[in-house]
Amino acid sequence: MTEVRTEVGMWIEHRRAGARGGEKMAVENPATEETIACVPRAQAADIDGAVEAARRAQPAWRRLPGLDKAKLLHEVASRIRSMRRELGELMTLEGGKPMIENLDEIEWTAACFDYYAEVGRHSRGNAIPPSFEHQVNFTVKEPFGVVVAIVPFNYPLLLMAWKVAPALAAGNTVIIKPAEQTPLATLELAGAFETLPPGVAGIVTGVGEEAGEALVTHRQVDMVAFTGATATGKRIMRLASDSLKKVNLETSGIDPFIVCEDVELDVAARGAVWARYLNAGQVCTSAKRFYVVDAIADAFVDRFTTLAREIVVGDPRRPETDMGPVISGEALARVRQSIERATREGARLVAGGGRPKGLDRGHYLEPTVLDHVRHGGSATREEVFGPVAAIVRVRDVDEAIALANDSDYGLGANIYTNNLRYVMKAMEEVKAGTFWVNDPLTDNEAGPFGGMRQSGIGRELGEEGLDAFREPKHVHIDYLQERKNYWFPYADRAWE
């Protein structure tokens, strides 16, 4: 795999395009801190062009029969799989995830397009019982129009697919804005989207304060789907409120992970380590606060710490690497500040916290373990988007459930136990959009994904994810024209 400095254009109506004003932005390899490419930095005029193209294409795409849409979406999935190697290399260079994790992401991305190809062609609406005789009532679910998909850096293709595949299946056209840190693989994906009619899917690059806000506020954009920080999601809501633009938001999470006294220690510890340090801890649903029952806390922390120290940190291009860098110098600084704040509050740093030996360049951090974290402190209230585990010791499962549920967020939650009572009590009480039992972070295209509380609005995946990109219309038909007895004049009706 070689690093090549190059310039890559945006993709609108099957053509590459630069920013009209010539503005560009650099893409950095977080493992080496070197610039690997430049992409356009779109401004308002560029956004206008992209939206106009999507608007022109939408009526014909909406009318295309579902079977034909399904064939095209299956072809997108097939092309994604055929591009597996080059996409994986680009994702590794620009994002810093180990190659194996990126190859997994590409398959999940293709599977999402296959899933919505099938779901979209058999779901349009419902027949409902009429109120009177010789009438027919039904609903049809219609696309919004032009949808903007604003995608984060951590899973640039998968979280794009969770928005774009159902939006297209529903009959919308889509403009994709990848994160400024990771636009290259998404731009490369234009090769898969070439199977779609021009204008149905477009890709623009730029920064949030410019391109992102121009897309959110554009009068010809009908809906915004976003994954990212809660603060940004709230700003999108405020900007969209002026026109009552529809939004679908998946925002921050500080997911709890409960470890009960009856666990198989090695399995639970290994699952916990993977759930925290996957993608260097840069996963919305990664386990960030661990509530461990006192009876096994010492043994669990020892095993967890041993496994964390065994993680191979290094060049994400190497097959032996388990964990790469965080995305940027700014992100690394924020994570370090979080560790310092937690230790000032009384947490014990039992592993990690520094730069791995032998890695002089790149935004690397050792897998970090904080024990005896105080619930209510910063590590349990603020999302740490990096490889830091915060372990809170609790008396029993009831206290663990109460503390896990004591949060402003509710994206995901986990429990490890063989006790059905513990499972059911936690599942019923903890506010979270996804609840995992003995199997953290596993997704299913057929199951809805999204957050409660300040972790978001709406759902992706499943049929709920398709409904997020369409709105119902009630159709009422009376197939006999006759005067109704409840019309004017009311003098003809007896009411006493």
Active-site annotation, residues: 250, 284
Q: Quick count: other Cβ atoms within 10 Å of Cβ 378?
A: 18
146 in Cβ contact with 51 (< 8 Å): yes
d(CA 249, CA 114) in angstroms, rounded, equals 23
Other CB atoms within 10 A of residue 5 CB: 11
Q: How far is CA 314 from the centre of its chain?
A: 25
Question: Residue 251 and residue 454: Cα distance in Å, rounded?
Answer: 7
Write b or e for each residue in 328-357: b if 16 or more Cβ atoms lie within 10 A of its Cβ, otherwise e.
Answer: beebbeebbebbeebeeeebebbbbbeebe
d(CA 28, CA 325) in angstroms, rounded, equals: 12
Burial class (CB in 10 A: 0-12, 13-18, 19+), 105: buried
Residue from 222, 233, 168, 170 nearest 200 by CA: 168
CA distances from 172 to 5, 69, 114, 263, 322 (A): 35, 11, 17, 47, 39
Q: Are 47 and 54 in contact (CB under 8 A)?
A: no
Rounded distance between C-alpha atoms, residue 96 and residue 115, angstroms: 28
The type of residue at 174 is: V
Say how far apart CA 307 and CA 152 lie, in whole Å: 29
- Contact assessment for residue 322 and residue 351, using Cβ atoms and an 8 Å cutoff: no
Q: Would residue 244 be called left, alpha or beta, if left means φ above 0 and alpha means ψ between -120 and 50 degrees?
A: left
